[in-house]
A and B are shown apart, each in its own frame.
Chain A
Amino acid sequence: MMKEKQPAFAEFRNEGIGDKIFDICVWILVAVAVCATLYPFLYVTSISFSDGMAVAKGEVMFLPKGWDLDAYKMVLQYQQIWVSYGNTFLYTIVGTIFNIVFTCLAAYPLSRRQFFMRKKMNFLLAFTMYFSGGLIPTYMVVTGLGFYNSRWAMIIPTLLSAYNVMICRSAMESIPEDLFENANLEGANDFYILCRIAVPLIKPTLAVLTLYYAVARYNDFFNAMLYLGKPELQPLQMFLRRILIISSSEIMQASGTTAAAAAAQSTLKIRYVCIVLSTVPILCICPFIQKYLVKGTMLGAVKE
């Protein structure tokens, strides 16, 4: 490791010509990767804030031109976006809590060496990762149970991900067995051990799993499309699909503004405002969870 105090270019200056070219290539590639990732977001955000005329003329390429929040006002005054936002937050919060509770309930018995059905149950879970009944039988079962057009359809069918259970199980297996045995001798039952010993010890892993589950819930479009026909139950992603990919005219019509004003707030701007509004919550949590992420990803990759 290099010492912090050393000037950044000292090492570069002392290198041979081959290493210099290598370093430059590395820098260029990383810069290209970062720019390619950031540019679409920058562009979308700039358009959403820019003046409608500048957008229509195609003048906005990087930074916003002019400053116009009317499109934001128009979108935020539209009732349906609040309904779908509310639904998404409900499904995300309730769903993630269910996910985490069930993942712990599944992972703890599977991590205990003494559990006499451990191998069979492990197989039962692992098998579902590689084979499934497929779309139609699953759809028949879920609708057959009466989940069609019910909020539970967004919570129950995706209660557990076998892959995440495996991650959680590996984390629990890494806890020294002595801790469990001592607690057992002290007369603690398994529910107590799970809540008071296992869960606090694997908090970093649970943080990553919470992120994975919450993001999957927030972004869930498939289940909503299959099981939710009523617009008042649909989450944000269904709303976004209507606006972004099919048509954005409904917001302009609902806003009741005159045709000229609606035209000034071009379709494009409305769409990009929706992208910004729907993506911000997800992007906000990511940097905070970064330090756990590497660990969580590695856990999934390393077997046992």
Chain B
Amino acid sequence: MSVLTKSAAKPKLSKEEKKRLFRKNIRRDKYLILMFLPVLIYYLIFSYLPMTGLVMAFQDFIPGKGLAGIYTGEWVGLKWFKQFFDSVFAWKLIRNTFLLSFYSLIFGFPIPILFAVCITQLKNKVIQRSAQVITYLPYFISTVVVVGMMTNFLSPSTGIINQIIMMCGGKAINFMSDPSWFRRLYVISGSWQTFGFNSIIFVAAIMGISPDLYEAMRIDGASKRQQVWYLELPMIKSTILLLLIMSLGNILSVGFEKVYLMYNTAVYETGDVISTYVYRQGIENKNYSYATAVGLFNSAVGFALVCISNWFSRKFSGSSIW
């Protein structure tokens, strides 16, 4: 607010005065500028220079020219986008990307809330804290190790899951190369890894509720279930809503790493997503322009979704990310 009123009160400056003000500002903030300069250079080179490289999506890039090649390719317009949407991959990739994060959201979003509600009910602080520490440990483990554990647990010959299935008289399932299992495994392992960490924010929100309110409900004879249902959940509603809307905005940005480590040619049908396709086309097959176009489509739609969800968030929960 204060910034707004200040700028509104600022009188119109002539060019001369603006220049003088600018010079004065530079002199006053010279150390701040000096400090920020390396950061600015970093962002210009590693974030904004690649953004200008997106012109490759509309050109026919010729490899072997180094950085300059990005800007000197022949202009081909929307050729690569057409090629993508005409191919059999487009629909499959969009569907896989969307479904993978949609299922992750449906399944993975409520668990941290449920866990936070449960863990805040525990009266013993030591048990409460240890349960919290234990459950957020997996969050810090690398994707390589998580996928590695999963691959080995599910191995048809030596994996523990299949040993148990066979002990019970079932037939071994080759989980990792069965397309119908890919999404389930992705979602379950993702949830296993993040539920504890994601619950931290809900635990903090619940802890922030005044004990007086619980006391008042208790005196009125409310059961614990009612306290959760009519007090806790409404009190953390805005946190839930904000996080939910934000995750809806990220629905097209499936992490590359985990899918890349998990999938193999046998499960491309359900496992191949846009980012892995971009990697294969671009880095492995050297179709730089085509891969850039597919990537640009992905990030443009992703950006639009973030904007839309942010607008919704501001409208309905009053809070937003910008």
Contacts and interface: CB of A to CB of B under 8 A. Distances in A.
B50 A134 contact: yes
Given A134-B292, A134-B298, A26 B122 contact: yes
Contacts of A283: 137, 140-141
Contacts of B213: none
A44 interface: yes
A102 B39 contact: yes
Contacts of B121: 22-23, 26
A220 to B, nearest CB: 8
A34 B149 contact: no
A11 to B, nearest CB: 7
Interface stretch (A69-77, A106-114, A199-207, A249-257): A106-114
Contact of B148 (A190, A194, A271, A301): A271
Given A131-B299, A221-B143, A272-B152, A136 B211 contact: no
B115 A2 contact: no
Contacts of A222: 256-257
Q: How large is the interface on A (under 10, 10 to 19, 20 to 34, 35 or more residues)?
A: 35 or more
Contact of A157 (B38, B46, B137): B46
A102 B321 CA distance: 23
Contacts of B307: 130
A34 B31 contact: no
Nearest to B121: A26
Contacts of B12: none
B319 interface: yes
Contacts of B200: 293-294, 297
Nearest to A242: B144
B138 A244 contact: no
Interface residues of B, number: 96
Interface in A154-186: 156-157, 159-160
Interface in B124-146: 124, 129, 131-138, 140-145
A259 interface: no
Nearest to A244: B148
B151 A141 contact: no
Contacts of A189: 31
Given A29-B118, A245-B148, A37 B35 contact: no
B67 interface: yes
Interface in A13-42: 16, 18-19, 22-23, 26-27, 29-30, 33-34, 36-38, 40-41
B50 A301 contact: no
A268 B158 contact: yes
Contacts of A187: none
B288 interface: yes
Contacts of B118: 26, 29-30, 33
A136 B278 contact: yes
7 contacts: A11-B123, A117-B33, A133-B53, A140-B56, A157-B46, A271-B152, A287-B133
